[in-house]
Structure 1
Amino acid sequence: MTIDWKKEVAARKEDFLTDLISLLKIDSVRDDSQATDDAPVGPGPKKALEAFLALGERDGFITKNVDSLAGHIEYGDGDETLGVLAHVDVVPVGTGWETDPFDPVIKEGRIYARGSSDDKGPGMAAYYALKIIKELDLPVSKRIRFIIGTDEESGWMCMDRYFEVEEKPDFGFSPDAEFPIINGEKGILTEYINTQGTTEGGKNTLISFDAGLRENMVPQDATVIFKSEEAEKFEKDFYDFIETAPVTGTVSVEANQVTIEVNGKAAHAMEPRGGVNAATYLAVFLNRYSFGGDAKAFLEMTAEFFHDDSRAEKLGLNHVDEVMGDLTMNPGVFTFTPKDGGMIALNFRFPKGVSVESIEIELDKKLSHYGVTLGRGKEQLPHYVPAEDPLVQTLLNVYAKQTGLEAHEQTIGGGTYGRLFERGVAYGAMFPDSVDTMHQANEFMAIDDLMNAMSIYAEAIYELIK
């Protein structure tokens, strides 16, 4: 049987866009302030999960909601199960948007909205691929579960709970990265660097320092408030500073209190070089002046060890693996007040050859003289599926067939649901020439990319379950 996958995709384009726009309109940022037993990560992710499952019910699939944290849409029968895992939660919006991030806009062949590329757009493309297989009534010998999570951008509470009560598929992929395939994912570790809150001993007194929305995002905005004996001089000094720095910002002075806001560029933490860290640039500026106590330590170590050093060379942590690439570090969240002290969240993506313990040993060695304490947060070990695995080979072959492009294995610093399975990978939906706007302002996905991804997903899923 010969199937024209692109023709089948084209016939469903308008329906696909209607369903995608409906999903993109839901603000599904995790919100712990509104979390309840019935909405463990807030009402937005729950609403998005229910909306997706409703599509499955509409289209005649078997569906299940697991505690409003995760769910699945199921099709087919067999002794083996293919899992396709997507997520409906999104990172916080941040600043710099030219349109409403939850009112999708289509212009110049792109759909703009938070989640359009990460991961509602690709997830919907993969769902429609399964829908095509069902509507064509193609024979299948395996079961497929399209699994939906609501907490991928934070703690993965969704998958923890789902696999407590549901069986794990035998193999699978997540449409949450790029083509031709991601069969290797670096380990992920967040380390919290904590200081006390003393401020005495300097000419300037730090009142607050705040930057970053999530540890897996480069901080786009940073704000500091401090008191100074010479407040007026900071206005000229700061504007002179940003003339040669890749940031913008403002200064306001009221009596002896100075407020500075810095604007950089957000990016995904898996490659911090794609962004401009507003927090570290602000610390570099402030570190030229006299601050005391833990405030001084907070600013100094940020400027000296965390600024413009995505490979953590100053910490002695730079490491490159031949297959998995560089260790990267993203200083993602910063807070300081005299009452609560200081906290810096460092998000590491590390290849084989590096351990969590080795990272902590070097951090302690380099930063202990600042009087800091370390706290270990989220950690995941590196994941790799060999290129010769039949899953990898099938996915690469379909990609090469449909695009005519070279199909090869690759590793990323991002963490996808693919790492949940021993034989799990990430697969699309970005192409080699796609513009990556994940975790950035004005996030978008090219509609043609979504259509082409849907066609690849449909053939790949069918090849894996027929």
Structure 2
Amino acid sequence: MNDKIKERANFLRDNMILSTQELVRIPSVEAAAEADYPYGKEVYKALAKALEISEKLGFKTKNIDNQAAHVEMGEGKEVLGLLCHLDVVPEGSDWTYPPYAAEIHDNKIYGRGTIDDKGPAVAALYGMKIVQELGVELNKKVRLILGTNEESGMASLDYYLKKEQMPDLAFSPDATFPAIHAEKGILDLKFSASLKVENQKGLQLQKIRGGNATNMVPDYAEAVISGIKKEKLLELLSDLEYDKNQLKLESENENLKLSYHGISAHGSMPEDGKNAISYLISVLAELPFVNSGVKDFLDFYKNKIGLEYDGASIGCKDQDDVPTALTFNTGIIKGDQSKIEFIVNIRYPVKSSAEKVVADIKENLNRLIEVELLSDAEPLYVAKDDPFIKKLLSAYREFTGDDSDPIAIGGGTYARKVKKGVAFGPLFPGQPELAHQKDENIRIDDLVKSAAIYAKAIIDIAGVNENE
């Protein structure tokens, strides 16, 4: 059977490439709702294109009010779900190749969404096609469920699950192989500081902004300041330690703009990036602002957050759950002389809770700073020796020869939304994590191999012979 699966996967290779390119060329970043498009027109276009591709492959499809959809094969009362999403995070900057051109270089398709999560959705779809072409009889419905706002709250899947049958088992091709048996909790907190405007002569902070999404390490941040000559500012900066190649100083009308260029990364792995917001504030905190509130805010950020990505100084690092350590990422900041707000994305260990994390943080706030809980996605956990996990691992091992154990991750997938689900691929062990980063790409060989693995997993879990 494995040889037949490989043969069909290779036969469908060109189709997989084309389908991935068609989806990646749609810039499906969530936008404000309009008319019949709950997450913006571009997100809808991606959903419509995915359904068009699926119907041309001979599958039944169902669109649930443009919120989500499924692609279906098989018969039976139980449902095996393949959980994917078609929305993407903003593209960021400094790409080698255009982020929505889906260009092929060195056997890789480049573009936002290639690995998160349009390429994997194509692999799952063609995994179903392989099973269909092999004529395998199924005793479960197999549904590729396509969500449209996974990157910003997963509301579309919640909507889908209110309208359609909850999958009995599900895997999400939105992480790494061999299989993910645990996902950390995901917490978004808004920190805010209301500042008293003091019209004194001297250095003033007029504006600060940075970041595109909470679950991205920001690669750009800027601050506009006034009340100081450029020559004087350069003199002050000369006494500071910072990366002079990344900090840029420009005149803006009668003001000066300081901008910092960092390195983007997935919010669950802030150690892989360079947080432009934090690095910019580390410089600003050393400047002699006359507004006492601004100075207090900058001192708070420098001393309690700084350049850390584990929440140590703000008191939430220790959650008694090794090895799934907590991560702390400031994703967005905006503000002026009267108010500054920033949003932090925290991935907390599976044995902890949002309540504990927030309580630990509140013990380390000053009177200036308030914190508000924006969202909390509770952790996911499935035992490593669960029969479902074992079948997924078996499919993976038969096509890779890798006998690695399941792992825990900081990323959050749709798997946590169903009664029994886990993340499963598409990134192979040892490969760099490029989700939410510039130059995101997927190796074409890996796209094809993933489709074969997903086909085998479907057969092992939903095939009649495998369940008798």
Coarse TM-score class (shorter-chain normalised): over 0.9
Per-residue deviation at 1:256? 5.3
**Contact 2:92–2:219 (CA<8 Å) still a contact in 1?**
yes
Give the residue type in structure 2 aligned to 1:135: E
Change (3 A) 1:254 1:399: closer
* In 1, Cα distance between equivalents of 2:297 and 2:323: 32
Q: Matched residue of 1:432: which SS?
A: coil
1:410 to 404, 407, 412: 407
**1:263: which partner in 2?**
261
2:9 is aligned with 1:9: yes
Choose 104-113 or 245-254, whichever is displaced more.
245-254
Choose 57-66 or 297-306, whichever is displaced more.
297-306
> Please, what TM-score do these two structures have when normalized by structure 2?
0.94
**Contact 1:199–1:205 (CA<8 Å) still a contact in 2?**
no
Change (3 A) 1:100 1:237: farther
Q: Deviations over 1:279-336 (max 9, x none)?
A: 1111010111122233223322222222221111101211355565101111111111
Per-residue deviation at 1:382? 1.1
**1:431: which partner in 2?**
428
* Structure 1 stretches lacking a partner, 5+ long: none
Give the residue type in structure 2 aligned to 1:404: G
Give the residue type in structure 2 aligned to 1:38: D
**1:23: which partner in 2?**
23
Change (3 A) 1:6 1:259: same
Q: Matched residue of 1:92: which SS?
A: coil
Q: Matched residue of 1:433: which SS?
A: coil
Q: Deviations over 1:8-63 (max 9, x none)?
A: 1110111111111111110100012xx21400110111100011011122122111
Q: 1:62-101 alignment to 2 at 5 Å? A: 62-101=60-99
2:378 to 367, 381, 389: 381
Q: Matched residue of 1:458: which SS?
A: helix
* In 1, Cα distance between equivalents of 2:238 and 2:74: 63
Q: Deviations over 1:322-361 (max 9, x none)?
A: 565101111111111235x111111110113322122222
2:366 to 368, 381, 388: 368
**2:178: which partner in 1?**
180
Give the residue type in structure 2 aligned to 1:153: E
* In 1, Cα distance between equivalents of 2:229 and 2:27: 44
**Contact 2:184–2:380 (CA<8 Å) still a contact in 1?**
yes
> Please, what TM-score do these two structures have when normalized by structure 1?
0.95
Change (3 A) 1:373 1:323: closer
Q: Matched residue of 1:434: which SS?
A: coil
* In 1, Cα distance between equivalents of 2:436 and 2:373: 24
* Structure 2 stretches lacking a partner, 5+ long: 464-468
**1:162: which partner in 2?**
160
Q: Deviations over 1:348-398 (max 9, x none)?
A: 1011332212222222221133x2222111201111011121110001111
**1:446: which partner in 2?**
443
The count of aligned residue pairs is: 461
**1:397: which partner in 2?**
394
2:309 is aligned with 1:310: yes
Q: Matched residue of 2:332: which SS?
A: strand
Q: Say what the alpha-carbon RMSD is for the aligned residues.
A: 1.8
Per-residue deviation at 1:148? 0.1
Q: 1:335-350 alignment to 2 at 5 Å? A: 335-338=334-337, 341-350=339-348
Q: Matched residue of 1:366: which SS?
A: coil
**2:270: which partner in 1?**
272
Q: Matched residue of 2:151: which SS?
A: coil
**1:153: which partner in 2?**
151
**1:112: which partner in 2?**
110
**Contact 2:321–2:350 (CA<8 Å) still a contact in 1?**
no
**Contact 1:228–1:258 (CA<8 Å) still a contact in 2?**
no
Give the residue type in structure 1 aligned to 2:141: R
* In 2, Cα distance between equivalents of 1:52 and 1:236: 56
* In 2, Cα distance between equivalents of 1:206 and 1:196: 14
Change (3 A) 1:26 1:194: same
Q: Matched residue of 1:17: which SS?
A: helix
2:300 is aligned with 1:297: no
* In 2, Cα distance between equivalents of 1:236 and 1:5: 66
